[in-house]
Amino acid sequence: MNYRHSFHAGNPSDCMKHALLVWLLRALQRKPAGVFVLDTHAGAGRTDLTAGPAGRSGEWRSGIERLLDDPPDVLADYVTLVRDCGLYPGSPVLIEALLRPQDRLACCELHPEEAAALRATMRGSGVSVHQRDAWEALGALLPPPQGLRRALVLVDPPYEAADEFSQLAAGLARGHARFPTGVFAAWYPVKHRAPVRAFHTAIRASGMRDVVAVELWLREPLDAARLNGCGLLVVNPPFGFEAAAQERLAALLERLGAGESGQGVSVERLADE
Ligand SMILES: C[S@@+](CC[C@H](N)C(=O)[O-])C[C@H]1O[C@@H](n2cnc3c(N)ncnc32)[C@H](O)[C@@H]1O
């Protein structure tokens, strides 16, 4: 496990994932009943963008830095939350900031140092941190505890292993079998098209219903060595997701795109309800 998210914190892919994550959780919170949120690959929680790995990589300068001042209207909720969180927030910190007393958050992180940092950061009530394997946790931590009947599951693997797309498809199917009404959101890289096509085919073949994949491309995905774009696959999206995603992706592209050939966004339904 060599991946350290701090190198990439705040980059365009992080912004896309977090902007949609915030929308998804807010959508589930339209109803008063409590929500269980499972963040299967939580990371360290917070990152100092100006020092250490993030300071050296500078990836955030082409991402969150371009949104912080004067964000587009549809991204204002997300960007305000980022600003209010102080030191740059990862997914568990953003989720924790939105938790209501009736909601619960479970975060999993396998890397010992990241898990220790996460544990030190996540001290709010209703939050638990587990140093455990995400793929195993997708079976073990679902269905939600304590009688909660709604869940949002964020699956955000590092894609270090060659078979991570296959693990993701299997992990989603496992989690979905344990809690078929949960909302599952899985982030994936778009480097070139073939692995993404194979992943979508596996999801279609899994029998899961009501699946939407949204993607943001900064350029034509032809160079497998570059992160040319990213996607979020959502199972059981809340009402209005496709329109909300389209607006947010377009706003992100307008701010973060460099006008390269092939840049664009897509919202594709992979399986009907
Ligand atoms: C992309 S980062 C997570 C970023 C975080 N979700 C965010 O949005 O701020 C992926 C994280 O998963 C952790 N990880 C890798 N393999 C894992 C596994 N099998 N189970 C749990 N965590 C894992 C890595 O250590 C890394 O911190």
Structure-block tokens of residue 140: 């073990």
pLDDT at res. 242: 98
Those residues whose C-beta lies under 8 Å from the C-beta of residue 228, and which sit 6 or more positions away, are 190, 191, 192, 217, 218, 219, 220, 221, 222
Q: Cis peptide before 71, with omega less than 30 degrees from 0?
A: no
Catalytic residue among 156, 210, 223, 272: 156
Q: State the pairing for strand pair 183-190/151-155.
A: parallel
pLDDT of residue 4: 84
- Ligand 1: nearest atom to the Cα of 134: 20
Q: Which residues line ligand 1 (CB under 6 A)?
A: 1, 3, 5, 17, 41-43, 90-91, 108-111, 114, 133-135, 156, 158
Indicate the top mutation candidate among 109, 133, 136, 166 to test ligand 1's pocket, ranked by most ligand atoms within 8 A of CB. 109
CA-to-CA dists, residue 8 to 62, 97, 165, angstroms = 11, 21, 20
Atom of ligand 1 nearest to the CA of 154: 6
156 is catalytic: yes
CB 150 within 8 A of CB 28: yes
**Pocket perturbation via mutation, ligand 1, pick of 1, 5, 16, 105 by most ligand atoms within 8 A of CB:** 5
Residues 6+ apart with CB under 8 A from 103: 29, 34, 35, 36, 37, 126
Beta strands in 91-167 (DSSP E): 104-108, 127-130, 151-155
Spatial distance between the Cα atoms of 27 and 194, rounded to a whole number of angstroms: 32
The Å distance, Cα 116 to ligand 1 centre, comes to 13
| 70 Cα–ligand 1 center, Å | 30
**Distance from the alpha carbon of residue 41 to the mean position of ligand 1, in angstroms:** 4
Per-residue pLDDT of the chain (273 residues; tens, 9 = 90+): 778 889 899 999 999 999 999 999 999 999 999 999 999 999 999 999 999 999 899 999 999 999 999 999 999 999 999 999 999 999 999 999 999 999 999 999 999 999 999 999 999 899 999 999 999 999 999 999 988 999 999 999 999 998 999 999 999 999 999 999 999 999 999 999 999 999 999 999 999 999 999 999 999 999 888 999 999 999 999 999 999 999 999 999 999 999 999 999 999 999 999
Which among 16, 69, 18 is positioned nearest to 250, based on CA atoms?
A: 16
Nearest atom within ligand 1 for CA of residue 39: 6
pTM here is 0.98
Which residue, among 165, 233, 157, has the nearest Cα to 194 in the 3D structure? 165
Tokens of residue 88, six digits: 């740059």
Q: What spacing in Å lies between the alpha carbon of 261 and ligand 1's midpoint?
A: 31
Atom of ligand 1 nearest to the CA of 9: 9
Closest to 128 measured CA to CA, from 111, 139, 141: 141
> Would you state the pLDDT for residue 3?
80
Q: What pLDDT sits at residue 2?
A: 77
Nearest of 88, 154, 152 to residue 121 by alpha carbon: 88
Q: Provide the 10 A C-beta neighbour count for residue 145.
A: 11
3 C-alpha to ligand 1 centroid (Å): 8
Specify whether the CB–CB gap between 160 and 111 falls below 8 A: no
